[in-house]
A and B are shown apart, each in its own frame.
Chain A
Amino acid sequence: MRQTIDHTLTPKLQLRLYLLTGLVLVPHVQHLPLVVSFFLFTTLGLRFISLRLPKLQPGRLLLFLLTAAGVVLIYNEHQTLMGKDAGVSLLSIMLVLKTLEVRRRRDLYVTIFIAYFVIVTQFLFDNSFLLLIYLLALLVGHTSLLLEINRVSPSRNFFEPYRQTFWITLQALPIAIILFILFPRLGHPLWHFGHDGSAQTGLSERVEPGTISQLIQSSAVAFRVTFKHEPPPPEQRYWRGLVLWDTDGVSWYTDKNNPVPFLSSSIMPTGKPVEYEVLLEPHRKTWLYALDLPAVAPSKSKLSSDFLLHLREPVTRPKQYDGLSFTRHLTSPPTEALRQRALRLGEGITERQRNLVSTWRAASSSDKDMVERALQHFYEREFVYTLNPPRYLKNPVDQFLFEGREGFCEHYATAFTQLMRLAGIPSRMVIGYQGGEHNDLGDYYTIRQYDAHAWSEVWLEGEGWKRVDPTAAVAPERVRSAIQPNFGSVGEPALFRIDSDSLIGSGLRQISMLLDNSSLRWRRWVLGFGQEEQYGLMRGLGLGFLPTGQWGFLLIGLVGLVLALIGVRLVLQGRVKQEQVQVLYQVFCRRMAAIGHPRHAHEGPLDYSVRVCRERPDLANPVRLITKLYIRLRYGEHKTKNNQAAFADQVRRFHPGRS
């Protein structure tokens, strides 16, 4: 089929474009304001209707009004047109408005390019593997439209353009991987557009009764840990996140204006080191989690003197780091300032608290004894460990200690720390995670939000800072197995996860482990791929000597190599495959041409032979024979091996001389 170029688009092609546009926008619905989503899909709906009823196709005025309405809408929702959220809203609205004015081919290009951009923006919100697959399929779908408009006749087979686009995309994949690996990564953004506003589940800088019991409703992964050697027993797997030094009597925090100085002296280990690798989920905070207590800081982080790992930038993509900790250790005494800080009390100290502490003090010989007594108090007075503690509104610590006696780990930790300070023992509150589930397939531990925990650390003369977990005194199971989130009535004792031994239970556990394992790899190698992984990979490939500035040459060289390989493949694919018979006949024609008798374009083999025989009667015999055999082999029925061999033989022996 041939025709002169037509620049209009068929309704069928337009329909495909608008369907794809709708599909691209679907995942954004959860990030965009509701009004914007409504605007998007109403406009797209109008587009679909006007495809059937062209009268409803909006004119210039309506289009202008819609554009203005869209911009006002975005400004109204986001108070800006810049930044991630407003930018994505703007781009999505541009996309649907562009579909309204698609008439010609070049409109289709612009629409598809905006759709590509919208596809990329999805990854600023969600990084799941399934989303990637979904959006890659849409990318192929959009690209196939380009293939479709650049051919003359529409493809007859529905899948044909998709198949061709799929191959082109597949060829582009090695280039994408090379660029992905070698393209330099910045550790910080180019421009700040202010707060991004996406909340992340996880521990925060401030803890008050109820903070952690809310967090443990979530089974989101906090981080994953692979131990290089023997893993420590569960009762030693305390992952420290933050130390909270200051309190107002209700909530605990660390005053930002009074940061803890960085570590000057190292710890004195008294046991074997534990080496491990952590893959931290982005929590948008500036600290890392480490096993109690870290001895070295991973790169780009710093150890403060309360043994926390601090970063300069918040963690916004999966971060991998190596840890080295000692579970048995001696720490040097705190400075006087820190010691005073660890004794400062908040408001709400009551007489009955003072009485309780003084009775303990009278009965105990040392600080260590005091700690024992406090823990015993929690155990003997039948405190209940519950996910749904009553709400203590006036003075949470006091009400919990003397009235409710029902609480979650943060109640125990805050009450205990406050009592210790009251007794003159320097103490501080620690939040982090405890425990973790072993993944049998990958041999690593997954620590989820429901493993969040709070405990205390007290300073004991001669022993340094010691971890004390008052929760363990009430519910020793807590440190051995995870909490089972339940929504029972207030004060109901917490249930613990017990792994089911039934066939279905273990089967499901296997599947979830498999999923978690692939998720680890996905996060470790794709989402978490950063500067350090780049260096690591280069070293692993034996290219560690190459300075970063020269990666560009390597990148260009490798991309060039891939392109060359694709080019060679394409050229080989397009090569004309000739049969041996034709090749031999061309040899014959070339030899004739060399002696001044070329074959003309219009001449068939027979005409040619007749003319040659007339012009060179001396060559008549071999020329007639060769032509006869050629016609037989090419067009006739006698394609026997004998004939082929005779033909080849004749041509090879044919060396005519000039007359």
Chain B
Amino acid sequence: MSSLLIPNWLYRFRRQARTDGRGGVVIRPRSLYILPTRQGILLALVLFLMLAGSINYGSNLAYLVTFLLGGIWLSAILHTWRNLLGLMIHPAQVSPVYAGQEARFSLSVTNPSSLRRFGISLRQKKLLGESADLAGEESCLLHLPIPTVHRGRLPLPEVSLHTVYPLGLFHAWSYARLDISCLVYPRPAEAGEPPSDSCYTSSEDGDRGVGADDFVGLRTYREGDSPRHIDWKAFARERGLMSKQFGGDRTERVELDWDLLPAVDTETRLSLLCRFILQAESQAISYGLHLPDLTIAPGMGERHKQRCLAALATFGE
């Protein structure tokens, strides 16, 4: 289903689908491109052969059927063109990812007319997104995975909506720029421990958290828990492996400080901080973040993590 590729220098003359003033775009006649596919060119060649045969043997019915196929070929242009016409694309959502992962953009494609549309697919240059058939007055979410390299905000590059329906002889498409970007967190560093200076400080409000003095409760066994803390009685009652939790007079707390990191380059520092955040989160250690221009008070939980990671992602912006 490949089409003729457009040389790069021609890109700036391209027309975009028009914005509808509310964040989305509408595909209008003038923003639609259409070219024959390889199959369309092949059929055209076959039709010329048929015509030569018809002329040679002077068969009027052969002429008629050849011309009928020629007519179908021509009207396929219009049908393919119409299949895309009037569709609307709106940005829907995208979840943050770590650099190196694929950003999964979701775009909502709406068919405002009562006509059904078939085989609508989303692409970004050579990256293929999903395809869908749209019933009349229906919307559909199409996902487009885009690989990420750097942390930061990744705006959705120019995408295109494609179709070859009904006959696969022509390929219609329209370019669209949509205002949606994906937050890309730094890639977590593969190794490294928080510097010892980011010491555990005592908690003002006492005995919540991890310690060794008082029994606080049970939690499910995690790898690395000491066998001495396993509640063997619970295990014997077939309640699974449980670890006994002890609270102390201190809560483990870690301050992740930019300045305490070894003097490596910015991106490596951010990667390390990212790793520490994830580590602290998984170990249920309360953590705070100190960046040169921003300080986030210690905390825990999904929202706190996202806030910290977002700060890393947008660092320096």
Contacts and interface: CB of A to CB of B under 8 A. Distances in A.
A110 B168 CA distance: 12
A173 B129 CA distance: 37
B43 A2 contact: no
A570 B166 CA distance: 13
Nearest to A191: B56
B71 to A, nearest CB: 3
B78 A563 contact: yes
Given A120-B53, A150-B165, A175-B70, A4 B131 contact: yes
Contacts of A165: 166
A113 B46 contact: yes
Contacts of A483: none
Among A106, A116, A150, the most chain B Cβ lie within 10 Å of the Cβ of A150
A13 interface: no
Interface stretch (B6-14, B16-24, B151-159, B248-256): B16-24
B58 interface: yes
A529 B60 CA distance: 7
Contacts of A176: 64, 67-68, 70-71
A5 interface: yes
A2 B107 CA distance: 13
A175 B75 contact: yes
B95 to A, nearest CB: 18
A603 to B, nearest CB: 9
Interface stretch (A177-185, A235-243, A375-383): A177-185
Interface string B63-81: 1111111111011111101
A151 interface: yes
Nearest to B85: A574
B79 A570 contact: yes
B113 interface: yes
B60, B70, B165: which has the most chain A beta carbons within 10 Å? B60
Given A127-B61, A151-B119, A169 B74 contact: no
A548 interface: no
Given A189-B56, A574-B86, A601-B22, A2 B70 contact: no
Given A172-B74, A529-B60, A5 B131 contact: yes
Contacts of A446: none
Interface in B71-118: 71-72, 74-79, 81-82, 85-86, 90, 112-115, 118
A146 interface: yes
B142 to A, nearest CB: 6
B57 A175 contact: no
Q: Which label, helix, strand, loop or mixed, suits the secondary structure of the A interface? A: helix
Contacts of A135: 65
B286 interface: no
Interface residues of B, number: 67
Contacts of B132: 1-3, 152
A186 interface: yes
B260 interface: no
B68 A139 contact: yes
Contacts of B79: 168, 570
A112 B79 CA distance: 20
A601 B24 CA distance: 9
Contacts of A441: none
Contacts of B22: 600-601
B128 interface: yes
Interface string B22-51: 111000010000000011001100100110
B86 A169 contact: no
A190 B58 CA distance: 10
A555 B165 CA distance: 28
Given A151-B118, A598-B21, A120 B62 contact: yes
A3 B121 CA distance: 9
Contact of A183 (B43, B67, B74): B67
A49 to B, nearest CB: 29
Contacts of B167: 143, 146-147, 150, 168
Q: How large is the interface on A (under 10, 10 to 19, 20 to 34, 35 or more residues)?
A: 35 or more
Nearest to B61: A123
Nearest to A313: B58
A176 to B, nearest CB: 4
Nearest to B21: A598
B212 interface: no
Contacts of B54: 120
A136 interface: yes
Interface in A511-545: 526-529
A152 B131 contact: yes
B55 interface: yes
A42 interface: no
A316 interface: yes
A186 B141 CA distance: 56
B58 A120 contact: no
Interface in A566-616: 566-567, 570-571, 573-577, 598, 600-601
A180 B64 contact: yes
B67 A180 contact: yes
A186 B70 contact: no
Contacts of A598: 21
Given A5-B1, A150-B165, A183-B63, A109 B121 contact: no
A154 to B, nearest CB: 10
Given A3-B131, A526-B64, A575-B113, A168 B74 contact: no
B52 A559 contact: no
5 A-B pairs with least C-beta separation = A172-B71, A175-B71, A601-B22, A2-B132, A123-B61
Given A176-B68, A189-B55, A526-B64, 18 more contacts: A113-B42, A123-B60, A132-B64, A136-B68, A150-B167, A151-B165, A172-B69, A172-B72, A180-B67, A190-B55, A191-B56, A528-B60, A570-B79, A570-B82, A571-B29, A573-B82, A574-B85, A601-B90
23 contacts: A2-B142, A84-B57, A105-B168, A110-B42, A113-B46, A117-B49, A120-B65, A120-B66, A139-B65, A139-B68, A147-B165, A150-B118, A150-B166, A168-B79, A168-B167, A191-B56, A526-B61, A526-B64, A559-B74, A567-B78, A567-B81, A570-B82, A574-B86
Interface of A: 1-5, 84, 105-106, 109-110, 113, 116-117, 119-121, 123-124, 127, 132, 135-136, 139, 143, 146-147, 149-153, 164-165, 168-169, 171-177, 179-180, 183, 185-186, 189-191, 316-317, 526-529, 559, 563, 566-567, 570-571, 573-577, 598, 600-601
